[in-house]
Every structure is written in structure tokens, then in C-alpha cells.
Amino acid sequence: MRADVVVVGLGAFGSAALWRLASRGVNVVGIERQGIGHPFGSSHGTTRLFRVACMEHPGLTPIARKSLELWTQLGEGTGEVYVRQTGSLNVGGPKSRPVRGARQAAAEAGAPTTDLTHDELVERFPQYDLAAEDVAVWDPGAGICYAEPTVRAHVAEAQRLGATVFPHTMVTAIDLGRDEVTVRTPTISITADQVVVATGAWLSKLVPALPLSPRRTPLFWFQPRDPASEAFRLSNFPSFIWEFADGRGLWGHGSDEDFLVKVGLDGAERERGVDPDELDRYIHPREDIAELSTAIGHAFPDLDPEPVKLMPCMVTDSPDGQFLVGRYDERLVIAGGDSGHGFKHCAGVGELLAQITTKETPYTDVSFVDPLRF
Ligand SMILES: Cc1cc2nc3c(=O)[nH]c(=O)nc-3n(C[C@H](O)[C@H](O)[C@H](O)COP(=O)(O)OP(=O)(O)OC[C@H]3O[C@@H](n4cnc5c(N)ncnc54)[C@H](O)[C@@H]3O)c2cc1C
């Protein structure tokens, strides 16, 4: 089989690349080892936080905005909503990473934000049991985005635009030649001009020598102690990132659906450098839940600290916490190293991957995510 471009791995980044390439009329083939929108990689569960004033790097603000623009367009066609902009809180002491980072994104990338004093925060968000020094930066363009439905929508739209998709097909080798690349699976081989590899936690298996470290990171959902309470509805309890004085922190958001409130703990991950094929998919009550439950008990007294639902997931860390997105070889473009904050950017990253592959000028500076920077 022959194609212009093969996209390997149809999770968040790869599915978006497939869609953006198909939207340009490129003859593109997507290959995914599992089904589309599956629970074995990094892009499952219902939602992810969507932020515009991104504390991780001001260069991410234009990428989040591009995701929003593309998902809005996609939603006009499908009738679905891919982002709900309810605003978001960056909480912590004045020198904490969420507060400093959101202010930096506001100053350097023009993300509109509002500072909230401690007293304003207490008044508007009584769910929080704050430390005396806690303040917040409100990111009004932020909110939540939807994980599995979005991956499926990217792939469905790509197929509607002419892309060919092989689910349940594992790429076993990528042979880079001088004039072409051959992507091999147990059932088919595809020869193409270029390949985009976006295999998440498995990226280093197909592209060796990348400094990536997958980490086991479960997803957790909680409910209010009082089932009739409205305090943890999404409109009253929008998405947040909260750093404590000891450097650990919580992130999450409320929900309108059955009051399931998503909360995770930063700085508590016990397994780094895992082999994604050997991921421990059991949940361990002591190690996985105890620390998060204790933190929730202190932080949100009206939330029941016993999780009602949980699922294992993976983050793939890069050395500097930024993605690896760009050209790695004449015929090879890669996207990975999500470092736990990639979903909100995936449509914008897909657009960058399409631009890099088709040799258009990228819509924003990509030097901070250049995969050759290491
Ligand atoms: C607990 C948790 C919370 C998070 N919260 C947020 C958040 O609030 N906001 C946010 O923006 N981001 C968040 N993230 C990060 C976000 O989910 C990831 O950045 C994103 O899902 C990464 O997508 P990916 O495409 O790199 O990987 P994946 O979605 O895992 O895609 C890789 C795909 O490649 C496939 N594959 C692998 N090997 C092969 C092969 N050999 N052949 C074919 N296919 C292959 C896999 O099956 C998989 O489908 C969170 C992550 C976790 C784990």
C-alpha cells in the first residue's frame, strides 16, 4: 500500500494529526494498535482540564487557542461540544507555580487573566480550605475538554475527509529510507513519503534514543458528602490547579454529570520509568488512594475523600516537562512527551504536525518543543 503520510498511534496527538492532514487533502493512513478511543494509553476517561494561561510555558497559549478554534469548527459540523469554557483557577501562594506561571502566560502571551485576593477566593469559592497565603489567578478562557469522545471525533472527521484507518493494528517497524519510509505491521506494509509517530508512552519503542519516561498516573473521581449539595457542580467548582506550600498539589474540576468530581494529586506518582507494556493496571488501596484522600480531606472538607471511581492511566515525561513535537528526520515527524498536560493542546499540535509534514510555516513558534533540543 502507498500513502503520502502514515500516522502511527491514534491517541490525542495522532488522531488530531490525521484529521488536520486529511483536511488538507493529503493521502493519509492512520494506524492504531488498539480500538479508537481506548483505555490503555493516556487519552481515556471523560475529561481533561483546558487552560489558556498555561503555567507550563507561555508558548502553549497559542496552541491551546488553536485547539479551541479547531474544536469549535469541528463542533459546528458534528453538533458536539469539545470544550466547555467555565473558567479556571490557578491557586497557591504568590510564588507558587500555578500563580506565577499563569501570570507569566498573561504577560508574555496575552492570555487575559484576573488576580483574586485571598478574601475574594474565600468568598467566591467556599469549597476550598485555603492556606493563609493562598491567592489565585482566574483564567476565564479555561474550562474542561472531553477526552475519549474527542479522539473518536478526530478520527471520524479524518475518515469523512478521506483518511484510511487501520485500528487493532500494531506497527512493528519503521524503515526510514532515503526516498521513502516503510511502515510495517504483521498484516500490511505501507510505503509513504513521511511518517508521523505519535505513540505516546510507546514512542521510545519505535523511535529509540528519546529521553522519555512513562509514569503510571491513575485517574480518580469523587462525590460530595451531601448528595444534594450544589457546591461541586461544574459551574460552582470550575477546573483548578492548586499548589500547596510543600510543593505537592491538587488539580481537578466539578461536574454536572452525577456529581462525579475529578481530582488528582501532583507530586505523588510512585512509578516512573515504567514499561507501558508492563503497566500495573491494578489499583492499590494504600499506595494509590491514601495520600490523595488525605489531601482531599484537608483541602475540600465537603467532598467525600473516598473515590467512587478510578482508572489507571499514563503520563510520559520529558526532561524539561515540554512536549516533543517536530521533525526528527527527513522522513520522520514525532509528537510525544506529553508530560501530563497535552490533551488541551492536541488539536493545536495536530495542526502543527500537519504544517510541519506538508512544509507549511507553523502558526506559532515551536522551538520550545523541538524534539532535537535534547
Ligand atoms: C491522570 C491524567 C490526567 C491528565 N490531565 C490532563 C489535563 O487535565 N489536561 C491536559 O491537557 N492533559 C492532561 N493529561 C495529559 C493528556 O491526557 C496527554 O497529554 C495525552 O492524552 C497524550 O496523548 P498521546 O497522543 O501522546 O498519547 P496516547 O493518547 O496514549 O496515544 C498514543 C497511541 O499510540 C498507540 N500505539 C502505541 N504503540 C503503537 C504501535 N506500535 N502501533 C500502533 N499504535 C500504537 C496507543 O495505543 C495509543 O492509542 C492527563 C493525563 C493523565 C494520565
Banded pLDDT at 270 (limits 50, 70, 90) = low
Domain shared by 238 and 123, yes or no: yes
Banded pLDDT at 285 (limits 50, 70, 90) = confident
Over residues 73-96, the mean pLDDT reads 97
Characterize 338-370 residue by residue with b for buried, 16 or more Cβ atoms within 10 angstroms of its Cβ, and e for exposed: bbbbbbbbbbbbbbbbbbbbeeeebebebeebb
Q: Are 354 and 20 in contact (CB under 8 A)?
A: yes
Q: Cell numbers for 310, please give them.
A: 478510578
- In this predicted model, what pLDDT tens digit does every residue of 161-218 receive, in sequence order? 999 999 999 999 999 999 999 999 999 999 999 999 999 999 999 999 999 999 999 8
Domain shared by 12 and 134, yes or no: no
Query: Does 158 fall in a domain?
Result: yes
Query: Does 343 fall in a domain?
Result: yes
Query: Does 80 fall in a domain?
Result: no
Residue 213 vs residues 242, 336, 338: alpha-carbon distances, Å = 24, 11, 10
289 alpha carbon – ligand 1 mean position (Å): 22
47 alpha carbon – ligand 1 mean position (Å): 13
- In this predicted model, what pLDDT tens digit does every residue of 230-240 receive, in sequence order? 999 999 999 99
Cα angle, residue 206 at apex, residues 321 and 168 outer, rounded to 5°: 105
For residue 267, is pLDDT > 90? Answer: no
Over residues 81-98, the mean pLDDT reads 97
| pLDDT value for 268 | 65
Domain shared by 225 and 262, yes or no: yes
**DSSP labels, 41-71:** SSS-SSEEEE-SS-TT-GGGHHHHHHHHHHH
Residue having the nearest C-alpha atom to atom 27 of ligand 1: 200
Domain shared by 306 and 237, yes or no: yes
**DSSP labels, 98-138:** HHHHHHHHHHHH----EEE-HHHHHHH-TT----TT-EEEE
For residue 126, is pLDDT > 80? Answer: yes
Q: Are 60 and 320 in contact (CB under 8 A)?
A: no
Q: Are 336 and 316 in contact (CB under 8 A)?
A: yes
**DSSP labels, 258-292:** TT-EEEEEET----BS--GGG---S--IIIIIHHH
- In this predicted model, what pLDDT tens digit does every residue of 56-70 receive, in sequence order? 999 999 999 999 999
312 alpha carbon – ligand 1 mean position (Å): 12
Boundary-marking domain end, from 264, 293, 312: 312
Count the Cβ atoms, other than its own, within 10 Å of residue 333: 23
Residue 257, burial from CB neighbour count under 10 angstroms (0-12, 13-18, 19+): exposed
Over residues 73-84, the mean pLDDT reads 97
For residue 271, is pLDDT > 90? Answer: no
How many domains would you assign to the chain? 2
For a pLDDT cut of 70, what percent of the chain falls above it? 99
Query: Does 254 fall in a domain?
Result: yes
Q: Which helix H or strand E contains 350, and what residues bound it?
A: helix 346-357
| pLDDT value for 185 | 98
Query: Does 270 fall in a domain?
Result: yes
Boundary-marking domain end, from 312, 331, 363: 312
What gap in Å lies between CA 59 and CA 303, rounded to an integer? 35
Domain shared by 175 and 225, yes or no: no
Query: Does 73 fall in a domain?
Result: no
Mutate to test the pocket of ligand 1, among 338, 346, 369 (most ligand atoms within 8 A of CB): 338
| pLDDT value for 266 | 87
What gap in Å lies between CA 15 and CA 7, rounded to an integer? 8
For residue 27, is pLDDT > 90? Answer: yes
User: What does the radius of gyration of the chain's CA atoms come to, in whole angstroms?
Assistant: 20
Q: Which residues line ligand 1 (CB under 6 A)?
A: 8-14, 31-34, 41-43, 48-49, 170-171, 198-200, 202, 206, 217, 219, 264, 313-315, 336, 338, 340-344
Q: Where are the alpha helices (DSSP H) in 161-305?
A: 203-206, 290-299
Residue 75 vs residues 14, 80, 134, 212, 370: alpha-carbon distances, Å = 19, 5, 37, 33, 30
Mean pLDDT (the chain, rounded):
96
Would strands 2-8 and 249-253 be described as parallel, antiparallel, or unpaired? unpaired
119 alpha carbon – ligand 1 mean position (Å): 38
Domain shared by 243 and 196, yes or no: no
- In this predicted model, what pLDDT tens digit does every residue of 339-371 receive, in sequence order? 999 999 999 999 999 999 999 999 999 999 999
Query: Does 263 fall in a domain?
Result: yes
Mutate to test the pocket of ligand 1, among 61, 144, 199, 255 (most ligand atoms within 8 A of CB): 199
Q: Which of 45, 127, 146, 47 lies closest to 89, judged by CA?
A: 127
Domain shared by 235 and 198, yes or no: no
Query: Does 55 fall in a domain?
Result: no
Domain shared by 225 and 272, yes or no: yes
Banded pLDDT at 269 (limits 50, 70, 90) = low
Structural domain including 192 reads 2-46+148-211+319-373
Over residues 97-120, the mean pLDDT reads 96
Q: Which of 153, 162, 170, 181 lies closest to 83, judged by CA?
A: 153
Banded pLDDT at 136 (limits 50, 70, 90) = very high
What gap in Å lies between CA 14 and CA 336, rounded to an integer? 9
| pLDDT value for 257 | 78
94 alpha carbon – ligand 1 mean position (Å): 32
Q: Are 6 and 139 in contact (CB under 8 A)?
A: no
Eight-class DSSP state of 293: H
What gap in Å lies between CA 263 and CA 240, rounded to an integer? 9
Characterize 65-102 residue by residue with b for buried, 16 or more Cβ atoms within 10 angstroms of its Cβ, and e for exposed: bbbbebbeebeeeeeeebbbbbbbbbbbbeebbbbbbb
- CATH assignment at residue 111: 3.30.9.10
Count the Cβ atoms, other than its own, within 10 Å of residue 280: 13
330 alpha carbon – ligand 1 mean position (Å): 25
What is the atom index within ligand 1 of the atom nearest the CA of 345?
11
Boundary-marking domain end, from 264, 288, 312: 312
| pLDDT value for 272 | 85
What gap in Å lies between CA 259 and CA 256, rounded to an integer? 6
Domain shared by 307 and 249, yes or no: yes
Domain shared by 228 and 164, yes or no: no
- CATH assignment at residue 168: 3.50.50.60
Domain shared by 128 and 207, yes or no: no
Domain shared by 118 and 236, yes or no: yes
| pLDDT value for 179 | 95
